[in-house]
Amino acid sequence: MICLVIGYVLAYAIAFKAGRWRNLLLVLVIAPFFTSFLLRTLSWKLILSDHGFVVSTLQNLHILGSDGRLLNTWFAVIAGIVYNFLPFHGAAALRQPGEDRRSPRRGGRRSVRLAVQGFLQGDLAALAPGCRRRHAAHLHPAAGDYINAQLLGSPGGRMVGNVIQSLFTSTGDYASAGALSMILMIMIIGLVLVYIRKSGTEELV
Amino acid sequence: MARPGKGRHTAYWLLAPGAIWLALFFVIPFYSLLSASLFGPNGSVLTGYKVTYHFGNYGSAIRDYHSELFRAPLVRRAWRH
């Protein structure tokens, strides 16, 4: 949901408001894809480390306690997941024409209601299929992701990907690992089928 | 003029790389995963595993790991920590 909200705003800004900076911003959004997923996640360990800039700034602002930390918390895991899968949403702007569109004016002056209506039915609605498609596309890798929870989270907070990985590699409980993988696969296929039923297959890929 | 039936199998040849790819990287791993999920409860690394069609693995997987499996509550957990 965080990805969807940030991605929507990002795609909107790039597609309709960036003007001549559009291509540069698109490259900046998509550039992280050119580096390893593992490296990108590891870089968050540096950013959120206990002696890093972010934690010390938050501590100085008394948002975090003096012994407060971000690394090894669920906040770090969610931040990592959002960061890693955000480009999927930003890429929704790729399919847009890229013109600096304005909602149509009605008469000389337009009311706030009309402006909001025009915005919702115009630019924002134009991005909806792209964002929905990207959301459906990124849900699948995110569901089985275990790297973020392993590198940024605490040992107690596991995602299903971590459980499957540990059952396969450490515990040797192949039966549970296989069953869990199959259940996850069935759940994802179910979600894809719901998406197909609602939106068709044309925009799935 | 082309002989009738000469290009009858062309489409299948063109499909072959995709079909081989699908078999290698989807069908075989899927079958392997499916059989692993139906291993008997008495198997171990030392004694080996056998497919005994033990569907109870699914029930126990859901029972033991439902919190991880249905972690839409990821955010709820985040608020708690």
The reported pLDDT for the residue numbered A34 is: 84
pLDDT in tens, A4-33: 777 777 777 777 777 788 888 888 877 877
Better pLDDT: A139 or A160:
A160
> What pLDDT digit, counting tens, does each position of B25-58 carry?
999 999 999 999 999 888 887 888 888 999 999 9
User: Phi-psi region for residue A86, left (φ > 0), alpha (ψ -120 to 50) or beta?
Assistant: alpha
Q: Which residues of B touch A78 (CB under 8 A)?
A: 74-75, 78
DSSP per residue, A128-156: HHHHHHHHHHHHHHHHT--HHHHHHS-TT
Res. B73 pLDDT band, cuts 50 70 90? very low
Which has more pLDDT, A110 or B29? B29
Whether the Cβ atoms of residue A152 and residue A72 lie closer than 8 Å to each other: yes
Among candidate residues A148, A127, A144, the one with its CA nearest the CA of residue A189:
A144
Report d(CA A92, CA A136) in Å as an integer.
12
Whole-complex ipTM? 0.75
Residue pair A148/A84 in contact by the 8 Å Cβ criterion:
yes
Task: Check residues A63 and A2 and name the one with the higher pLDDT.
Answer: A63
How large is the average pLDDT for residues A107-132? 64
* pLDDT at A118 (0 to 100): 67
Dihedral through CA A16, CA A19, CA A23, CA A24, nearest 10?
Answer: -120
pTM for the model stands at: 0.70
Closest chain A residue to B59, measured at CA? A179
Cβ within 8 Å, pair B39-A175: yes
Q: What is the pLDDT of residues A151-187, one digit of tens each?
A: 888 777 788 888 899 898 888 889 999 999 999 999 8
**Closest to A93 measured CA to CA, from A26, A4, A2:** A26
Assign A109 to helix, strand or coil: coil
On whether any CB of chain B is under 8 Å from the CB of A175, the answer is yes
